[in-house]
Structure 1
Amino acid sequence: MSDDRTTTISATFETRETADLAVEHLVQQHGISRPDIFIRAAGDRNTAGAAPSGGDASHEEGARRDAPLAGEIEVSVDIASSQATAVERSFADAGALRVSSR
């Protein structure tokens, strides 16, 4: 009999760029649909991450100063329990600061 329990895996990232990379790993490597992946600020303030990245970091005059750098980004996904270890590894490979499951 197969294990069809669902678990939620969450990870926090310092930048929006690394959070986006994690989402791409989930979609491309694990076949998870984008509507099943959730991205939000890890705290209570709107944020683009805790540090400049991507377009914010490569601005001609240095890092942009208007991006809301108010904290970390959280990515979470509800998956079959059998995928948990692989998804946790993908989050770590993408640069997660912390990974948890429930």
Structure 2
Amino acid sequence: MPTTLKAKFDTRREAEMTVERLVQEQHIERTDIFITTDGPANSVGSETAGADTEGQDPSPASRDDAALEDKIVVSVDIADEAKAAKVKAAFAEFDASDIAQG
């Protein structure tokens, strides 16, 4: 029976890593995966990560203009119960919170 799985991520990087894991290793179509913000504001997550953090020299310093407004939500439309378990595992691997089905 088709269902939608959703999870919230603190950083854009965690959300993107999850999507790549689902597409590349679980062969879930990108058209079945959706990324949104948890609230109405444009957001890169609730914590800095990736390009928003300071790198080693000669990289620039940390940015302070990242839109840290709310968490990132990844939802996946799935019909296969076995794949649903793998989606949940990928969510957990990249520190998702509020994992929900339905």
Q: Same fold (TM over 0.5)?
A: yes
Gaps of 5+ in 2: none
- Offset at residue 58 of structure 1 (A): 2.7
The CA deviation string for residues 26-46 of structure 1, in whole angstroms up to 9 with x for no partner, is: 101210111211000011111
- Map residues 35-46 of structure 1 onto 2, 5 A cutoff: 35-46=31-42
Measure the CA separation in 2 of the matches of 1:95 and 1:67: 21
- Map residues 14-93 of structure 1 onto 2, 5 A cutoff: 14-58=10-54, 60-61=60-61, 63-82=62-81, 83-93=83-93
Gaps of 5+ in 1: none
- Offset at residue 51 of structure 1 (A): 0.9
1:39 aligns to what SS in structure 2?
strand
- Amino acid across the alignment from 1:84: A
Please identify runs of 4+ aligned residues in structure 1 that moved more than 3 A: none
Report the equivalent of 2:95: 95
- Offset at residue 81 of structure 1 (A): 4.0
What percentage of residue pairs aligned between the two structures are identical? 40
2:8 aligns to what SS in structure 1?
strand
Measure the CA separation in 1 of the matches of 2:15 and 2:97: 10
With 52-61 and 22-31 compared, the bigger mean Cα shift is at: 52-61
The CA deviation string for residues 3-34 of structure 1, in whole angstroms up to 9 with x for no partner, is: xx111000100000000011011101210111
The CA deviation string for residues 57-91 of structure 1, in whole angstroms up to 9 with x for no partner, is: 13522x21111110100000100141221211111
Measure the CA separation in 1 of the matches of 2:7 and 2:80: 16
